[in-house]
Chain A
Amino acid sequence: MDSKSALSLHPRTLMSVLRYALVLGAVLLILYSIPRVYHLLSMTIVALLISYLLNPPVTFLEQYKLTRGASTTIVFVVIGLLATWGIFEISPFLWEQYEALRAFLANNKPNSILENYLRQLERSFGFLPKGSLAGQVGVAYDWVFGQLSGIPQVLYLTLQYLIIVPFIAFFLTRDRRRIRRFVVQSVPNQFFEMMFDLYYKVDKKLGAYIRGITIESFIIAVLSIIGLWIVDVKYMFVIGIFAGVANVIPYFGPVAGAIPALVVKFLDHNDPYTLIPVAAVFLIIQLVDNVFLKPIVVAKTMDLHPLIVLIVVVAGGELWGILGMIVSIPIASMFVVILTEMNWALNNYSFKR
Chain B
Amino acid sequence: MGFLDWFFRTGSWVEEETFQLLKNTPIFRDLRSSDYRKLADLLHESHYQEGERVFSEGDPSSAIYIARQGSVRLFREDATGNRVELHTISEGDFFGELALCRGIERSSSAEAKTELTLMGIFRQELEEFIQKEPQSGLAIYRNIVQVLGQRLYNSNDQLESITTELEMMREMNEQQEAKSDSG
Interface positions of A (Cβ within 8 A of B): 62-63, 67-70, 73, 174-175, 177-178, 181, 184-185, 189-190, 192-193, 196-197, 200, 348-350, 352-353
Q: Kindly identify, within residues 74 to 115 of chain B, every residue whose CB is under 8 Å from any CB belonging to chain A.
A: 109
Q: Using A189-B52, A193-B59, A352-B53 as known contacts, say yes or no to A67 and B44 having CB atoms under 8 A apart.
A: no
Residues of B with C-beta under 8 A to A70: 8
Give Cα A29–Cα B111 distance, bound, in whole angstroms: 37
Query: Given A177-B11, A185-B45, do A349 and B59 touch, yes or no (CB 8 Å)?
Result: yes
Partner among A62, A68, A178, A193 whose Cβ is within 8 Å of the Cβ of B55? A193
List which B15-69 residues lie within 8 A (CB) of chain A.
Answer: 41-42, 44-48, 52-56, 58-63
B10 touches A68 (CB 8 A): yes
> What are 18 sample pairs from A and B whose C-beta atoms fall under 8 A apart?
A69-B7, A69-B8, A70-B8, A178-B11, A184-B44, A185-B44, A185-B45, A189-B48, A192-B63, A192-B120, A193-B62, A196-B62, A200-B124, A200-B125, A348-B59, A350-B58, A350-B59, A352-B53
Expressed in whole angstroms, the Cα–Cα distance for A197 and B61 within the complex equals 9
Residue of B nearest to A195 (CB): B44
| Nearest chain B CB to A224 CB, angstrom units | 37
The 7 closest A-B pairs by CB, nearest first: A68-B11, A69-B8, A67-B10, A350-B56, A352-B56, A70-B8, A348-B60
Looking at the complex, which one of A67, A348, A353 makes contact with B8 (CB distance below 8 Å)?
Answer: A67
**A185 CA to B46 CA in the complex, in Å?**
7
For chain B, give the interface size range: 20 to 34
Mark B residues whose CB is within 8 Å of A.
7-11, 13, 41-42, 44-48, 52-56, 58-63, 109, 120, 122, 124-125, 132
Instruction: State the majority secondary structure of interface residues on B.
Output: mixed
Q: B9 to A69, Cβ gap below 8 A?
A: yes
Interface SS majority for chain A: helix
CB neighbours of A189 from chain B (8 A): 46-48, 52-54
Inside 8 A of A349's CB, which chain B residues have their CB?
A: 59-60
Q: A185-B46, A193-B122 are in contact. List 13 more A-B contacts (CB 8 A).
A: A67-B8, A67-B11, A69-B10, A69-B11, A177-B41, A185-B44, A185-B45, A193-B55, A193-B61, A193-B62, A200-B124, A348-B60, A352-B109
Chain B positions within 8 Å of A69 at CB level: 7-11
In the assembly, what is the distance between CA of A177 and CA of B11, in Å? 8
CA distance A70 to B5 in the complex (A): 10
